[in-house]
Structure 1
Amino acid sequence: MAVIQSRGKRLADWVTDRLIRGALWLLLCLPFDTRRHVAAALMAHIVAPLAGWRARIRDNLTLVRPDLPADQRKALERAVPRSIGRTLAELYSGPDFVARVAGEPLQGPGVPALEEALRTRRPVLLVTGHLGNYDAIRGGLIARGYPVGGLYRPMDNAFFNEHYVAAISRIGTPLFPRGRKGLAEMIRFLKGGGMVGVVLDQSMGDGAVLSFFGQPALTSLSPAEMALRYDALVLPTYGLRRPDGGFDLRVEAAIPHSTAEAMTQALNDSLEAQVRAHMDQWLWTHRRWKMTNRIY
């Protein structure tokens, strides 16, 4: 029975991947900005209803922002899938995407510390969330000559994962998959003075119970623990999308070294502040609050 189920899942993954590949091929035939607009529309009007994203967005907002007026919640149910579509199109646009972010200035109080770390070859952890486009900072810094790698979680669909990793590799390398081998490679890169982009806002079963939007959220302590172990600078970073199609590349003030729990909570607080300011750009389809939201 397990073999039959495994074969069935593999076939379903293959079919899903072929549909995605076909859609991406059509999108990539379009000019960059048109590509992003079309991907946004497809996500909002086709994928979101079929995948049940609107209900997930609504439930998450009800949990952490019960004060939000109904019309704003409805608007976010449409806007969030559009943001996801734009991000997907950008991640698959390699050179076009890098060209767009390469000319954007670095902003924020953490920029001098980042420049000093480059000069002294101090390890840096660039911590972000699924807000705006989380690869905008990585692409923008690599274009400026910064040694930036990325930690990523391999997709459950192995067929999709193959071309997804190839796509984000065109934004820049090295890339490190979560797991023992990837972690060892990432540590060697960090110890050599590298910088690594880490996305922190996924619920991790082995994470600590910390607060995010006033609700308990399992959060990985690994970035803070690595920072303490290898004396790495910890910088919250964000690639925030602007209405004109460009990005604000923000580098916030460094998180002071203390305990892994306190540092990680500070990172959660930084991300929460940015999400509150840019509600339509965060991935509200996430199962971020598994501990509290029983619909999961």
Structure 2
Amino acid sequence: MPADPSTLSFADRAGYFASNLALRGLIGLFQAIPYRWRIPAMGWLVSRLGPMAGLTRRIRNNLKLVMPDLPEAEVRRLCRAVPNNAGRTLMELYSGAPFVARARRAPIHGPGLAALEAARAEGRAVVLITGHFGNYDAARANLIARGHKMGALYRRMANPYFNEHYVRTISNIGTPMFEQGRRGMAQMVRHLKQRGIIAIVGDLHAHGGRNLDFFGQPAVTSIVPAELALKYDAALIPVYAVRQPNGLDFEIVMQDEIAHGDPVQMTLQVNAGLEALVREHMDQWFWIHRRWKPYGPQTPDAS
């Protein structure tokens, strides 16, 4: 994921530049549509492009691995609904104020809210952990509006041209933003040392992570969020934004604070909480990711 396009070959630069222009043009076209139609329109388009983009195959492979008995009718529904949610999420991030306004109005509940408020009252740092579910930035926008200023860790896009404006876009929701890597980690640690709040999306395949159970299969998972919480005496709280039936609004769910202990066991609890939520809303998790990509021994590590 190069930060500098000059490190790429001419062919790679040309390909990335062309795809970025196409995507920016598409986003610009949709931005001209009123918000209430813009979001479902992008969802519809991405769901229709799913087979050509390889999304349908990825969804089917993931479901076959972890839920082999799922009825074919439900698999077909998810092959349409999951890309639809992903398309909505992309367009929401590029919609600015209308999206943020809806996210701020979202009701919020769950025991994690009281835990967050208690930690802040005590002057403790907080690690909020979320996943690619619903629209993960809706929860960040909501909590920032409630006065909980936070930094967020993000993963650089492979396309350096797209990454440039993508980072600007998500920074409009709130700053600071920390890019995954050595420099970003140092900045994030400094923020935690100052007893700040950080938000981490923790459900991607993470090199250097541990094989931890997720939907009954080993999934390489970073235990860094738990380790940070332990090292800096921070509250570790899972938070998710659940898309509502109208497809435009959200409900913010803050699960129980994860008690300090062994970082692997803490992370397993995070996985279990996310899995339970996904099972309630199967179409809202990004089954398009290679979550169970092989890496290291393929047995769950519960130590």
TM-score range with shorter-chain normalisation? Answer: over 0.9
Deviation of the 1:86 alpha carbon: 0.5
2:170 match? 168
Q: Which residue of 1 aligns with 2:283?
A: 280
Q: Hey, what does 1:228 align to over in structure 2?
A: 230
Q: Percent identity?
A: 48
Counterpart of 1:37 (choices 40, 45, 50) is 40
Q: Which runs of 5+ in 2 are unaligned?
A: 1-5, 296-303
| Unaligned runs of at least 5 residues, structure 1 | none
The answer to whether 1:66 aligns with 2:68 is yes
The CA RMSD over aligned residues, in Å, is 1.4
SS of equivalent residue, structure 1 residue 40: helix
- Determine the structure 2 residue equivalent to 1:199: 201
Partner of 2:17: 14
| C-alpha spacing 1:49/1:256, structure 2 compared with 1 (3 Å) | same
CA spacing shift, 1:259–1:100, aligned 2, 3 Å: same
Separation of aligned partners in 2, 1:172 and 1:94: 12
Q: SS of the counterpart of 1:44?
A: helix
- Aligned partner of 1:125 in structure 2 is 127
| Corresponding residue number in structure 2 for 1:262 | 265
Distance across 2 between alignment mates of 1:239 and 1:72: 23
Match of residue 144, structure 1, among 126, 143, 146:
146
Contact 2:151–2:199 (CA under 8 A) maintained in structure 1: yes
Determine if the alignment matches structure 1 residue 271 to structure 2 residue 269: no
* Equivalences, count: 289
CA distance in 1, matches of 2:113, 2:106: 13
**Corresponding residue to 1:249 among 243, 249, 252:** 252
For residue 147 of structure 1, report the CA deviation from its aligned partner. Answer: 1.4
Residues 201-239 of structure 1 show CA distances to partners (whole Å, capped at 9, x for unaligned) of 111121011100000110001101111100010001000
Q: Distance in 2 between matches of 1:95 and 1:73?
A: 35
Q: Does 1:219 align with 2:205?
A: no
1:27 equivalent in alignment to 2:30 = yes
- How far 1:10 sits from its partner (Å)? 1.0
Partner Cα distance (1:176, 1:33) in 2: 31
CA contact (8 A) 1:203 1:289 kept: yes
State the Cα deviation string for residues 91-125 of structure 1 (Å, max 9, x = none).
11121111001122221111111111222231111
Structure 1 residue 208 and structure 2 residue 210: aligned?
yes
Tell me which amino acid in the other structure corresponds to 1:145: G
Question: Scaled by the length of structure 1, what TM-score is found?
Answer: 0.95
Contact 2:209–2:222, Cα closer than 8 Å, also in 1: yes
Task: Output the amino acid matched with 1:31.
Answer: P
Equivalent AA in structure 2 for residue 202 of structure 1: L
**What's the CA shift for 1:89?**
0.7
Structure 1 residue 5: Cα displacement = 7.2
* Alignment partners' CA distance in 2, 1:121 and 1:5: 45
AA matched with 2:116: L
Amino acid aligned to 1:216 = P
Instruction: Flag as ranges the 4+ runs of structure 1 deviating above 3 A.
Output: none
CA contact (8 A) 1:121 1:192 kept: no
Contact 1:95 1:170 in 2 (8 A): no
Secondary structure of 2:139's counterpart equals: helix
Code of the residue aligned with 1:15 in structure 2: it is A
Letter in 1 for 2:281: H
Q: 2:107·2:250 contact (CA, 8 Å) conserved in 1? A: no
TM-score (normalised: structure 2): 0.93
Q: Which residue, 235, 238, 241 being the options, matches 2:240? A: 238
- Structure 1 distance, partners of 2:216, 2:44, is 32
What per-residue deviation string (whole Å, max 9, x for no partner) do you get for residues 158-209 of structure 1? 0000010011011111110011111111111112121111111111121011
SS of equivalent residue, structure 1 residue 122: coil
